Chain A
């Protein structure tokens, strides 16, 4: 076991997989010599050399296109999109090409690639560098979507994503990069599509993702201590594949569901989860399903404004108190 930061876990996972498989290559802007603008990929150029760890020009379409071409001809590329907001620059390659070509070709090829990016707010970067765009990816058939909440999950899930034979969009929450966690030294893989039940409660199920998980845990603690409300906290970890089973099992016990989403309100992942739960567990619900999200407004830059907009432990507690009798 080592205490590792979220960012170091990224580099650790990539290094682990590159050692293991010579076909794993890595490209992106400032990822090699500079070790990444978030310092998440330090040491990789030194260990694996410029043939495998490559700095690129500012050419998102070229980066992702190259990853796709390499993936369909025998390599296992990892591409970085520096800020997830920049996916908008190369969305054609992601949504139209990578996501669909296997299907259109009647299964002739597959794309074992990972595109990792720094996602989400809390770092005061302003509206164009702070978006949570997991739901953009979730809404395109053919893409797998992962968003870890802690360093140990980063290592396990990134390893799994690199080994996955399908395209995976790996969303690292940029405000979590310094978050420390106990991470095992040895090689391990955390399967995609498995949610983690962090707390088991009886009165309400709180489902959260990435940076929202810590806030949900904090809220659950306060709810127990100060209000006697026992809340489950589930870290979804993957949006595609989605572990609906774990969520359904817990909500059928508690009868109540709250989702905590960093994304803006409309079409966030919680909308899909709510829809599934309300359809499949309607007769077990003892109260309405509630979504706690950032409002449907671009994220402001100033720290006080950004903090006021994003879901917080207080907002989760408030929503729970309104929901639980």
Chain B
């Protein structure tokens, strides 16, 4: 059985081995962690898909290989079958990434759901370590009886180098004093940004939204929410809900362009999978995905966002949570910015920036006379790929978005 480099995110074409947990000759059980791999998007543990013996380790710590490359070979009694299967090299072009993603996914090991501690029972030692280090128990593999997490399991998890933030930067040749070499993550991010801007002609369109209808519900619910969930109820889930409704009406914004410029075609995605950009430590941006976001209520979206943010912050996003996004929300509100022109997350065709929502004086027009009111106002800014749609289409989408946000009965759809 070949263990191959997984694809963590559809624009990812390669990965780096950051730590091995086994060595050649070791006996491994199914779901036992084999190694940690790292890409610009995420770090993750790769568990063993089978029980067997590690007969060969092909890639060393620190080495970067393409998605699909064989990292190790495990003898599970079926060695004859596990010849070189698919060692596909990924195509850096975004258009071929879907294909690669599908292929790699077939060969890729199942996402390690087995990490959920089967018995769920945490001993005092384990509970204390988890509390001290802010861990998610579902991300720790339990090797104890009935899959329980033992203290050694937690200690091992904590000492795994994938928990560290940065990969080792490459040695600088001649640097000006005071300059910083790009980390691997920074390098790859830069490449993607340049690629996106040179691929898609970006147009920015903004809409000012009155959030008082949202606030009527949000403010009356946030205390109970805080009590129940332990987190704040923000505008984000409301906006996410509104976006899915608007995308349903304007599906071309939820699509992807294939084979440009040779034989371009626009395919509308069957699902609405919202990518939510989350800032994590070290100025990194991680973009986990809420699949089928249109099927979720506002509260369900809020819980999902909370979960993904925590996973992103603790570097425990699994590949399936990183892939398949069809439209991106970028939440910049915390900085107080007025509006932002975000960069499209390829191979999507549009991205929405949420900036500050602030109480402002605004004019309410009325038949009986205009008046001034203080309302929470915010600007939503959409960058769209002008190959896919035009300004009228985008404008329609934004108008729809506005009316959903301002006129919905949030109590009903929360």
Contact = CB atoms under 8 A, between A and B. Distances in A.
A287 B121 CA distance: 11
A145 B191 CA distance: 75
Contact of A282 (B124, B144, B148): B124
Interface of A (DSSP majority class): loop
Interface in B104-137: 123-128
B291 interface: no
B128 A255 contact: no
Contacts of B124: 282-286
Nearest to A285: B124
A286 B128 contact: no
A106 interface: no
Contacts of B212: none
A283 B125 CA distance: 5
A325 interface: yes
Interface SS of B by simple majority: helix
Interface residues of B, number: 12
A275 to B, nearest CB: 15
A287 B150 CA distance: 9
Interface string A301-325: 0000000000000000000000001
Contacts, number: 26
A325 B125 contact: no
Contacts of A255: 123, 125, 151
Contact of A283 (B128, B143, B144, B145): B128
Chain A, interface size category, equals under 10
Interface in B137-178: 143-145, 148, 150-151
Nearest to B128: A283
Interface in A275-310: 282-287
A286 B125 contact: yes
B126 A286 contact: yes
Contacts of B148: 325
B27 to A, nearest CB: 12
Given A325-B143, A325-B144, A325-B145, A285 B150 contact: no
Contacts of A283: 124-125, 127-128
Nearest to B151: A286
A312 B195 CA distance: 72
Contacts of B144: 325
Given A255-B151, A325-B150, A285 B145 contact: no
A278 to B, nearest CB: 9
Contacts of B125: 255, 283-286
A284 B128 CA distance: 8
Nearest to B127: A283
A22 to B, nearest CB: 55
Contacts of A325: 143-145, 148, 150
Nearest to A322: B145
22 contacts: A255-B123, A255-B125, A255-B151, A282-B124, A283-B124, A283-B125, A283-B127, A283-B128, A284-B128, A285-B123, A285-B124, A285-B125, A286-B124, A286-B125, A286-B126, A286-B150, A286-B151, A287-B123, A325-B144, A325-B145, A325-B148, A325-B150
Interface of B: 123-128, 143-145, 148, 150-151
Given A286-B125, A286-B150, A325-B144, 18 more contacts: A255-B123, A255-B125, A255-B151, A282-B124, A283-B127, A283-B128, A284-B124, A284-B125, A285-B123, A285-B124, A285-B125, A286-B123, A286-B124, A286-B126, A286-B151, A287-B123, A325-B145, A325-B148
Interface of A: 255, 282-287, 325
